[in-house]
Each structure stands twice: as structure tokens, then as C-alpha cells.
Amino acid sequence: MSAGLVTGVALLGALAGRAAVPLARRFVDLWVSAARPDVPGDPATCRRDAASDAGAGRRGNRLGATLAGAAVFGGLAAARGGDPALPAFLAMAAVGLALGLVDLACLRLPDRLVAAAAGAGGTGLVGAALVTGTPGRLLPALAGAAVSFAGYVLLALLPHSRLGFGDVKLAAALGLPLGWLGWPTLGLGLLLPHLLNGVVVLVLLAARRVRRDTPLPFGPAILAGAWLAVLLA
């Protein structure tokens, strides 16, 4: 893909990042309004100030989401510009930007957004398979989703695991494009989130920003790991 087209896709990503902010805020506001602090263990734990810190309110953080969208889209275009499945990757990335913001604010991954990512990715991959006349490539994609789902279910069921089933569903959705690109890419996409999250946790612990028992979102690491795996495929 030419530099001009990559730049154009990056600009599209900037718009997607900008649009992800109000979309994420809608889900955050729904949970804030549903919170019942008088009930012990109420699941609606996100707060408006947390949403702002995660990028759904402040001007600087809106800029961060815009820049992140440009980087994500631009990287995909540069790495996968000749792949007919690029629209599927971009569609999933657009939804992923909103998912990351919501998870940072609320430690939650909305089922509707995860389903939208899976639907957009699956539809795009079906289109790519029809255009290229390679419907057989859909089987590894579905296998990738199944393997990702099974692997994350096992991790979520381990004693003291901090993975939620939102993470499991997101991993399964991202298994579609990773499986499309092949087993090595799928393996990398399953491994990288844990490495990235480990580095982040160590840095936060060293900076005394969190404690060992502080709950942290894992969705952004899943998204970033899948993105890096696609770039390296």
C-alpha cells in the first residue's frame, strides 16, 4: 500500500478513535446510572472520574484516543495493505478502541461491543474469502476463535484468576482474524497479551501506582497483543 493510502487510512483511524470516546462514554454512563453503592458487591463499579481518567472526558485524553486510532489503523494498513481482509481488521480495530476505553474505566467489556467486533470481523473475513475464492480460509479463522475461547476459559477458571468472561469473549472474537492469518499468528496473539500485561503490572508496581491485589483491566492487553501479532504476521 502506498504512503498516501496508509496516511488516508491513518486519518480514518483518527476519526475512529475520536468516535470511540462518546461511544465508550455511553456505556460508562449506563453503568454509573445503574450503580447501587448501598448494595455490597454491586457490579456497577465504574465511576465518572474513572471514565475521565480512561479517556472518555478530558481533552488531552480525547487527543490520546485520536492518536491511538491513527496509529492502530496506520499500522494495519502498512502491514496488511495487500490483504483483502484489511477491512475486517480495521472494523474490529474501530470497535476495539471503544472496548479498550470502557475496560479502562469500568473493568468491563460490554457484550454488545464484543459481539459487534466479532460480527464486523466475521463479515469482513467472509467477504475476503469470497473475493479471493478461498472459502477454505474461513475454517482456520473459526478454529482460531474456538482455540482462543477454550484457552481463555481454562485460564479464567484457574484458582485466583483475574480474567473475566468478557476477556474470554473478546479473545474468541479476536481469534477470528488471528486464525485467518495462520497458527503462528494465533499463537503469538495468545501469548503477547500476557507479556504486555506483565510488563505494565511490573511498571505500575515499581511506580507504586497499584498494589498486588489491585484489579486491572486485561482487555487492552488482549487488543494490543492481537494488533501486534497481525503486524508481525
Query: 136: which DSSP letter?
Result: G
- What is the mean pLDDT of the segment spanning 161-169? 93
Helix, strand, coil content of the chain in percent (nearest 5): 80, 0, 20
Higher pLDDT, 60 or 156: 156
pLDDT (tens digit per residue) in 119-153: 999 999 999 999 999 999 999 999 999 999 999 99
* Exposure letters 105-144 (e unless 16+ CB within 10 A, then b): bbbbbbeebbebbbebbbebbeebbeeeeeeebbebbeeb
Reading phi first (left if > 0) and then psi (alpha if -120 to 50, else beta), residue 42 is in: beta
pLDDT of residue 106: 87
- Highest mean pLDDT, choosing among 20-34, 35-49, 146-160: 146-160
- Under the banding of pLDDT at 50, 70 and 90, the label for residue 40 is very low
Average pLDDT over all residues of the chain = 89
On whether the pTM is more than 0.95, the answer is: no
- Under the banding of pLDDT at 50, 70 and 90, the label for residue 36 is low
pLDDT (tens digit per residue) in 41-91: 444 556 544 444 444 445 657 889 999 999 999 999 999 988 999 999 999
Contact yes or no for 16/67 (Cβ under 8 A): no
- pLDDT reading at 115 higher than 70: yes
- What is the mean pLDDT of the segment spanning 31-40? 58
Residue 51's closest CA among 23, 92, 17, 91? Answer: 23
**Residue 133 grid coordinates:** 475464492
Amino acid in position 41: G
CA–CA dist 30, 44 (Å, integer): 9
Amino acid in position 100: G
| Cα 59 → chain centroid | 22
pLDDT of residue 56: 45
pLDDT (tens digit per residue) in 194-208: 999 999 999 999 988
Higher pLDDT, 128 or 160: 128
Residues 6+ apart with CB under 8 A from 83: 89, 128
